Amino acid sequence: MKAKTKMLIWASLLALAGMPFLYYGGLKDNSALMILGFVCFGIGMLIAPLQFLRERA
């Protein structure tokens, strides 16, 4: 398997792992959990465009 494919799989798992933190943070009104979930989700979603931009440069 290519390294790019592995990285995208890990990125999607990271974004998926951030979802429960976002949900429970919103449910319990816990901003720390929401921030943690947002950071995980954001990093996971940013990896694919950053890989694309890095390859074009």
pLDDT at residue 57 greater than cutoff 80: no
> Could you tell me if residue 4 is inside a domain?
no
> Could you tell me if residue 2 is inside a domain?
no
Structural domain including 36 reads 16-56
Number of domains in the chain: 1
> Could you tell me if residue 9 is inside a domain?
no
Q: What is the pTM of this model?
A: 0.84
What totals of helices (H) and strands (E) does the chain contain, helices first? 2, 0
* Percent of the chain with pLDDT strictly greater than 90: 86
Scanning the structure block, which residue is given the tokens 């996971």?
44
For residue 28, give the DSSP letter: T
More confident residue, 3 or 20: 20
